Amino acid sequence: MAITQDLVLPAFFSGIRVVGREHLPSSGPMLLAPTHRARWDGLLVPLAAGRRVTGQDCHYMVTIDEMAGVQGWFLHRLGCFPVNQDHPGTASLRLALDLLGRGEHVVVFPEGRIQRQDGPITLQQGLARLAQMARTQGLDVPVVPIGIAYAKEVPQAGQQAAVSVGAPLRAEGQGRQGARDFTEALARAMRSAEQAARTLVGRPMDPP
């Protein structure tokens, strides 16, 4: 944390603005749902909502592809664990539920991969299913949408970045339709948070 937040991020970016931290619940488990625009996203989420802010570390669900090779070795030791977001396996969901049951914070990039092009946000349903499962087990787990933005489409040294934390959502529905409805609501909230972050770096998105 000291290396990334005190050295790496300040050395690369000229400034990082974070807004909306008041939306973060003060205690208990949490699912964080950030937009995914660059590999820097994984370092900016803990800056906005990690141990120094909430007292809790961020545990990442990442795609199977990202857990391959040397990168996978490194990510595993940072507390990341793999999930197939198209067909999330029981073991991955169980580990995430165990973390949430202990009051931990779990980060899921619901887009599934880095998306650099502007346009509608399309999400996988793995996060919605996880939130539904947590609810059936009696866990009150808010899902916090997070928008991340950079001054350029591909982040460049010496430029600004911004993170906008949106108001938390809760998965109220059940079954496939409930997962679809929640996923659509989350996509809208993530786009709104991203628009706020993009405005902060002087690169607002066109209206949908």
pLDDT surpasses 90 at 28: yes
User: For the whole prediction, is pTM greater than 0.85?
Assistant: yes
How large is the average pLDDT for residues 180-204?
A: 96
pLDDT of 174-183, one tens digit each?
Answer: 888 999 999 9
Percent of the chain predicted with pLDDT > 90: 63
pLDDT at 68: 66
7 pLDDT more than 70: yes
Whether 170 and 183 have beta carbons less than 8 Å apart is answered as no
Determine the average pLDDT of the residues in 164-172.
Answer: 95
User: What's the pLDDT score for residue 74?
Assistant: 66
CA atoms within 13 A on the CB side of 155: 24
Q: What is the mean pLDDT of residues 85-99?
A: 74
What is the pLDDT averaged over residues 163-181? 92
Q: Give, for 154, the enclosing helix (H) or strand (E).
A: none
Any bridge partners for residue 64, and if so which? Answer: none
Task: Give the pLDDT mean for 3-25.
Answer: 95
Q: Which residue has the higher pLDDT, 67 or 5?
A: 5
**CB within 8 A of 163, min separation 6: which ones?**
16, 17, 18, 19, 44, 45, 47, 48, 146, 147, 148, 149, 197
Class of domain 2-6+14-200: alpha beta
